[in-house]
Amino acid sequence: MTLPSHNNSAALNKTAVVTGASTGIGEATVRALADAGWKVFAVARRADRLQALGTQTGAVPFAADITHDDDVAALLAAVTEAGGADTLINIAGGARGADTIANADSEDWDWMYKVNVLGTMKITRAFLPMLRENGEGTVLNLTSTAALAAYEGGGGYNAAKFAQHAMTNALRLEEVGNNLRVIEVAPGLVYTEEFALNRLGDKEAAAKVYAGVEKPLTAQDVADVVKYAVSLPHHINLDHITVRPVAQAANHKLIRKEG
């Protein structure tokens, strides 16, 4: 999927910080923005993957855990020293487990809340002064359709993503006076190498998530939507974008073809 670009020459003066950059949608977003001429700071925990991505794309790799205050402070200092950024793209997140609430694993819930909610809050809080000072700053949060409708076995992920969705809406209200653009992109079923595997911990179980779905979204599909949203002229705010494969009319309505 390729969406039309907007004023690619202007991208030469644009700088984005992208979290979750070592895999999946985060990695694809780094590639999409770098290809469009953006300067990109690629942020994730796995330094080896980031170094390879930086070599391939020209992005600046920065290994950090966004749930750790010291890592966030070090990232902010590095970006500041390099001239700052006008766009923060929060993609780091994820799901663990598919248990019912009656069988909920406290460690899974704790991890999901820390990464999806507290991590997003910490890095956003740190970069807000820089984005305000820029005068035309943008924050884009990648949530999920799990933030819009609950489903059985999704309680922990629903709770984390509903919270991230609410935080995004609050941020938009709080920062509009600073001309800060706040965007939410909520993908449905996206096929990536790690999301379902990390959630379920088993390759066979992960494969069943996508079984029979002819064309799930890809990481590149979502990255193209993210790039489009942040590349529009700054006065245009796409408050909320829900993006699903055609086969998925709702979280509970997914067409699978017989194999």
Please identify every residue annotated as catalytic.
157
Which token pair is 46? 């796995």
8-state DSSP, 176: G
Cβ(41)–Cβ(92) below 8 Å: no
Which token pair is 6? 């907007």
**Size of the chain in residues:** 259
Euclidean distance between CA atoms 141 and 190, whole angstroms: 16
Collapse the DSSP code of 27 into the 3-class scheme (helix H, G, I; strand E, B; otherwise coil) and give the result.
helix
* Pairing of the two strands 248-250 and 253-254: antiparallel
Q: How far is CA 60 from CA 40, 75, 151, 247, in A?
A: 6, 11, 38, 37
Half-sphere exposure of 86 (CA within 13 A, CB side): 17
Sign of the alpha-carbon dihedral angle for 117, 107, 153, 258: positive
Find residue 39's DSSP bridge partners.
Answer: 15
Give backbone dihedrals phi and psi of 138, rounded to 5 degrees, phi first. Answer: -135, 135
φ/ψ region of 182 (left if φ > 0, alpha if ψ in -120 to 50, else beta) reads: beta
